[in-house]
Amino acid sequence: MTARGGPVENLIASLTREVADFPTPGTQFKDLTPLFADARGLAAVSEALADAAAGADLVAGIDARGFLVAAALATRLGTGVLAVRKGGKLPPPVLAEQYHLEYGTAVLEIPASGIELTARRVVIVDDVLATGGTLAAARRLLEHAGAVVTMAAVVLELAELGGRGLLAPLPVRSLRSI
């Protein structure tokens, strides 16, 4: 499900900074920093995602911009938040999941102890959905830990990259799709 032309989508559109050729030539980077720095922007994003994520009992945010959305959403839902970290940031023991990037591989990690994830209903959150590889890896990681991933939620979806298809049949809620 994707919101079209509503006030949240318009706010996202007006508060996204487009940066050509970053971080690699040919990539059109969508910088949502202005949106998150805007009081109305952050409130509107978390409110709109909270409608879709009702019923989740934990919000997992992807390193690093996903943390911002996840914490705001968790506060709305009245849940805790789990930071899904890039490899090498967390002290051991960790659970890790490798995934492919355009060039090479990357790793996502969560703590292997101290958080009970069995049967927890988790919504996974990031700022931008592109190919879907990152959210798919986060999903595998959380499911290996025993969680039930109920949906993915993002602010901005780059539809032509097909991330939604990679995540199917997991429901994906994006607030703006381009």
Report the interface residues with ligand AMP, using CB under 6 A: 27-30, 62, 65, 126-134, 158, 163
Q: Report residue 166 as tokens.
A: 């990679």
| Active-site entry in 4, 18, 102, 160 | 102
- Give the Cβ contact number of residue 152 at 10 Å: 27
| Active-site entry in 9, 65, 97, 173 | 65
Q: 102 an active-site residue?
A: yes
Q: 4 an active-site residue?
A: no
Cβ at position 119, least distance to ligand AMP in Å: 27
Residue 117, φ and ψ in degrees, nearest 5: -110, -10
The DSSP element (H or E) to which 166 belongs, if any, is helix 163-167
Calpha distance 157→3 (Å, rounded)? 11
In terms of DSSP H, where are the helices of 17-89? 33-36, 39-53, 65-77
What is the amino acid identity at position 119? Answer: A
Cβ at position 29, least distance to ligand AMP in Å: 4
Cβ at position 142, least distance to ligand AMP in Å: 16
Task: Tell me which residues are annotated as active site.
Answer: 65, 102
